[in-house]
A and B are shown apart, each in its own frame.
Chain A
Amino acid sequence: MIQKLRIEGGLINRKSELNFTFNGKVMKGYQGDTLASALLANGRKLVGRSFKYHRPRGIFTAGSEEPNALVQLRSGAFTEPNTRATTAELFEGLEAKSQNHRGSLEFDILAMNDLMAPFLSAGFYYKTFMWPKKFWERFYEPMIRSAAGLGRLSGLEDPDHYDKGFLHCDLLIIGAGPAGLIAALTAGRSGARVILADEDFLMGGRLNSENYEVDGLPGSEWAKQAVDELRSMNNVRLLNRTTIYGAFDHGIYGALERKTDHLADADGKPRQVLWRIYSKRAILCAGSTERSIAFGNNDRPGIMLAGAVRTYANRFGVAAGRKVTVFTNNHDGWQTALDLQKKGVGLAAIIDTRDREPVHMLSGVDIHMGARIVNSAGRKALKSVTLANGQKIETDCLAVAGGWNPNLHLSGHQRGRPQWNENIASFVPGEKLPEGMLVAGAAKGHLTLGATFADAQEMAEHQLEDLGFKPKTGDTPLCTDEDYQINAFWHVAESTQRAWLDLQNDVTTKDVRQSQMEGFRSVEHLKRYTTLGMATDQGKTANINALAVMAELTGKSIEETGTTIYRPPYNPVSLGALAGRSRGKEFRPIRYTPSHQWAEENGAEFVEAGNWLRAQWFTRRGERHWRQSVDREVIQTRRSVGICDVTTLGKIDIQGRDAAEFLNRVYVNGFAKLPVGKCRYGLMLREDGIAYDDGTTARLAENHYVMTTTTANAVLVFQRLEFARQCLWPELDVHLISITDGWSQYAIAGPNSRALLEKVVDQPEQISNEAFPFMGCREITICGGVSARLFRISFSGELAYELAVPRRYGASLMDVLMKAGEEFDVVAYGTEALGVMRIEKGHAAGNELIGQTTALNLGLERMVSTKKDFIGNVLAKRPELCSDDAVKLMGFQPVNRRDVLIAGAHFVASGNPHDLEHDEGWMSSVCHSPTLGYAIGLGFIKSGDKRVGEKVLAVSPVHKQSIEVEIVSPHFVDPEGVRLRG
């Protein structure tokens, strides 16, 4: 297909011809084209279907404000719906498809919706589909959902990569049009660190779209030279293809840089980068967006904004039509006619709503002053427009110029409200701006080039002086200042046909009227009731006109009517970019234990514990069920010896003259008198008296302790200790540092644990029962001189030790222990066996420390010191927490030994209803005890310690299960503690 509407000129590279497809049809364009300009060059008018009525739609704008030309870009898993053809940069092999039609784009079955328009007005689904009630969920809603939406997702995982990053600058300049460029030049020359960002791939803004002359150069050439100068400055960072999408607190801005969207293949590089920009100051130079005028059937393909028609002609060398008509309410519309005539594009007529002298005399062009268009014709492409006086004008493109709206969106991201400016008949930024931001140029309402340059220079100087720089301002560029005059004109009241305000959401003037009649008059209600200003374009070409119509209907001014709150993102940001790298396994870091590789090689199943991966159990050949592995690990450990990697437990090195006093204040039990070379179990409470972590702390020297915490709470405990040390008791000389990662630690448990250890420690006599009794700790050497720490502590209830070596030896130690233990039939055990043994022993763990239980509930009340103060001491004494019938941690075993217990079951006395009123507590941990041969559990039950032997029901309505259980001591195995002291 030839590019039949391609005309001379433009900023495209005609030497680089590109092939692309639209709905499978091969077309050609040039480097520097957007998909939209290339489609227009190929004479393609119809590019999509509207949201609700499935009306044929064409390209309306030349920028990110595009409401109509949304396409499905690329194919397969790479496909992305709702891509604006007006911002999609053309590349070789680009594949685009139209969207939102059933059947082909030309013959869309759902176009019948248009015939049903009287029934589908704003809020129709709130009023219809009400009967019969049950049809809503089963029929109506699925039907509406299936019809709704624009593009389609692939349903496949997004194969693209995304990244994030952080940038810093003195001055962020948002937009690289004339205002942005002059501000950046001023700041860059002054030595400030500048970031200049623009969403277009070609910086220059309207300088590339107009026939301006600046300093004797074409505007686009001046822009190019300015960009070249900025690029040569080390202190300036240019970010093209980058949208600043949000203004956040403290000068932080969100930016989306499209890195490889303009390439056929990203080559494994991130497609988009989401930047967080820390700026000291910012200048919003976002320019302005043109708006339309609403009249009957004003949504046909070929009806475009006048400034866009100019852009396609001047920048892209494309005529939007062969016989163009201009419909305007301001001087700028005439510029389109002048530019097109200069390019040799045919003009049919100029229709100006203002009753005044023509702004220019153009030969061979019908000029209608004080006129209005009431209707248009042409189903899939514009053929004619009809004036209020009945005159019909044959035309294939209507360029509508309704005036320009400053792009003030970011100025309102912190709830700033814009102000009405009658001179330009639009809103301008209000006084409350995001901290550090100034607005310049067209975004502030200066809609002419000279005023824009002057204002942006002044704003840049202001910001630079504020930052302590001496501005090096050059001469203000010489240019002619256009004459911009406008008489506000929003819609043609004489039109009897539907007149579109929001093209993307199919909102017409009638919908606004209906909203007003039904009481939805506030601008926020108008938006929600009609869907005005929603979706990808956020009403950039629609909102102000709709507000004006509402203002007219309510008799208020537009300013009184107001706008909705502007919120990020300014333009759509893909979810992939928001996620960045945080996908799949990269969602968070993985912490590996030193024995990880050994575990992998020995059949381990892993479980996430915090960020750690821990071995749950080790499957051996012939084991078909996890419980077979776990039972074996428990039995073998209790019979001989087992090894478990416990590196994940938090380890905090505590030193200082006041370390003992510090520990005394954070644990409920006393630590001041703990002798050197001893460990002690300790319990920590929150300020509200609730237990939150437990563990053992060893005293290695007079002023040196090592605390262990649970795996899950390691970071929390460290944070709370730091808070206590720095904020609660700064007078104490205490110093903390984590050594969790520095030491690899293994639990060695079972009757043969000492015998095994004796084979690896350098001085076995150091660990005899007499020399190293239960709860002892000492620094030793093993395997010929490697420093190690040995703790005689037991979670399993067996004779047990924990042996720690510097991390570098951790992996090797696992091998050594397994080898040395061969003669004892040593077994590695995972977290499941660890859990089984601690339940058998009656030790509380994460299931019991749930943020609702106290020392009393846990049966640890005798540990709580009454002779000292500690965190949580006061509030733990609240009467509600100390009542006589407080729940107590107890053991539970099924009366019928074959029953399997369920964690989370609630205890109810036999015969009582299974409801909250009769709830007596809950089962917190359960397991099959291979030692006892039946299921056992730990749980909390009211006055449990006084009810040993009583039978209650463990009820789980979710599982439809009710099991009779007997209340027993929580210590199922070796309640006297003979084994661990042996």
Chain B
Amino acid sequence: MAEYVLQAQTLLGGYDQQFGAIRLREITGADLISAAIPQGGEAAIGKELKRLFGCALPSIGKSVIADDVRIIRLGADQLFVLMDERQSGKIPDLKEQLSSVAYLTDQSDSWVMLEIEGQDVRLALERICMLDLDPQTFAIDDLARTLMEHMGAVIVRTSEDRFLLMSASSSALSFLHSVVTSVRNIS
């Protein structure tokens, strides 16, 4: 046992609040791995994803759920692999398996993750998100990089009325405040 022990801390203390029909909560304990696709390596990573998760490489702006792991295609050469706490034991394995086909960077601590869910969720999000979140144009599993209240953000539609919002961890409090304000302003 080491003399000094480091305690892990969540960004928002596991924030979880209900505002009328809207629930807003911090996602904690999730692991997020960035996988940069080497030039000309798309086929190889596609093959590896097929082998590991049984899914194809999603196209840019789309995500897929496979084996409780969400694979998020952010750009031509960038994938995020998001695993919730239930998958945490698998991280070293996954890193090992993907490292031959992608350049990996642990992004788990770089982002604050919020899940916002409820009937009026789009009314709240339209106060901070400039994207068209109509299901016709932003379907389930669609995602985009965008800006919310001057903060870089990633938004993923995880179901009809549920979105995953990610933003820089250092401004997590400001990000939470902006989303809470949006919800309060409509509720």
Contact = CB atoms under 8 A, between A and B. Distances in A.
A79 B113 CA distance: 41
Contacts of B169: 741-742, 807
Interface in B1-28: 1-10
A738 B185 contact: no
Contacts, number: 138
Contact of B109 (A273, A611, A785, A806): A806
A783 interface: yes
Contacts of B168: 591, 741
A363 B56 CA distance: 85
B36 A741 contact: no
B39 A733 contact: yes
B178 to A, nearest CB: 8
Nearest to B132: A168
Contact of B4 (A166, A268, A590, A819): A819
B163 interface: no
B125 to A, nearest CB: 9
Main secondary structure of the interface of B (DSSP, over half): loop
A879 interface: no
Contacts of B111: 741
Contacts of B36: 655-656, 735, 737
A589 interface: yes
Interface stretch (A13-21, A147-155, A287-295, A808-816): A808-816
Contact of A733 (B38, B78, B128, B137): B38
Contacts of A760: 4
Nearest to A787: B106
A598 B3 CA distance: 21
Contacts of A743: 109
A947 interface: no
Contacts of B126: 165-167
B106 A592 contact: no
B171 A813 contact: no
10 contacts: A166-B129, A589-B171, A653-B105, A656-B103, A735-B78, A737-B107, A741-B111, A742-B110, A786-B6, A812-B8
Contacts of A813: 6
Contacts of B4: 759-760, 783-784, 816, 819-820
5 residue pairs, one from A and one from B, having the closest CB atoms: A784-B2, A735-B36, A742-B110, A807-B109, A589-B174
Contacts of B103: 655-656, 703-704, 735
Nearest to B186: A269
A741 B110 contact: yes
Interface of B: 1-10, 34, 36, 38-39, 77-78, 103, 105-111, 126-132, 134, 137, 149-151, 168-171, 173-175, 177-178, 181-182, 184-185
A224 interface: no
B185 A270 contact: yes
A811 B168 CA distance: 17
Contacts of A742: 106-110, 169
B6 A805 contact: yes
Contacts of B8: 808-809, 812
Interface in A707-749: 733, 735, 737-743
Interface of A: 161, 163-168, 193, 268-270, 273, 276, 278, 581, 586, 588-593, 611-612, 647, 653, 655-657, 703-704, 733, 735, 737-743, 759-760, 762, 782-786, 805-813, 816, 819-820
A760 B129 CA distance: 44
Contacts of A268: 184
Contact of A278 (B1, B10, B132, B184): B132
Contact of A808 (B10, B34, B182): B10
A811 to B, nearest CB: 5
Most buried by A among B107, B109, B150: B109
A656 B77 CA distance: 11
Contacts of B170: 591-593, 612, 647, 740-741
Contact of B6 (A593, A656, A759, A782): A782
B127 A165 contact: yes
A276 B130 contact: yes
Contacts of A611: 171
A749 B110 CA distance: 26
B78 to A, nearest CB: 8
Most chain A CB within 10 A, of B4, B173, B184, is at: B4
Given A733-B39, A783-B2, A812 B109 contact: no
A809 B7 contact: yes
Contact of B34 (A588, A737, A741, A807): A737
A278 B130 CA distance: 9
Contacts of A167: 126
A808 B106 contact: no
Given A653-B105, A807-B110, A809-B6, A784 B1 contact: yes
